Amino acid sequence: MIKPDGVVRSKIGEIASRFENKGLKIVALKMMKVSREKAEKHYAVHKGKPFYDSLLNYITSGPLVAMIIEGNNCIEIVRKLVGATNGAKAEPGTIRGDFSTGIDFNLIHASDSEESAKYEIPIFFDEKEILSYERADKEWL
């Protein structure tokens, strides 16, 4: 998910292209304004933590871009491309390392496991919105 700060900073194309350039496939993508209810469900794991309310306010403050990405070792690769949660500690060359200077506005969310992805995807997408196709360069990836 490209968070509101990534959207308003015009980083959608640059972020999405990093995944595609790595050989991953975007099978669903949409811009939306997330309701408080969806945000609460998405961030339920953080409920009760001191930053929970500010996280909900942040994610509902503007449009975001939700994506589903597929590919070999997808979660591991996406997490490496995204970088450390705190942009100040993220390696240069990662999305957060290149565009974020802290933890509050870190541009992007990525599922940390297959279980997380299975929980998060239905919050933002219906099955009919997820498309299947083959990349033209599949055999080279």
44-82 per-residue burial string, b: 16 or more CB within 10 A, e: under 16: eeeeeeeeeeebbebbbeeebbbbbbebeebbebbeebb
Nearest C-alpha neighbor of 108 from the set 31, 4, 34, 10: 4
Is 109 one of the catalytic residues? Answer: yes
The interaxial angle of helices 74-82 and 12-21, nearest 10 deg, is 140
DSSP 91: P
Catalytic residue among 109, 111, 120, 124: 109
Task: Show the beta-strand stretches assigned E in the chain.
Answer: 25-32, 64-70
Identity of the residue numbered 111: S
DSSP 138: G
Q: Please give the positions annotated as active site.
A: 109
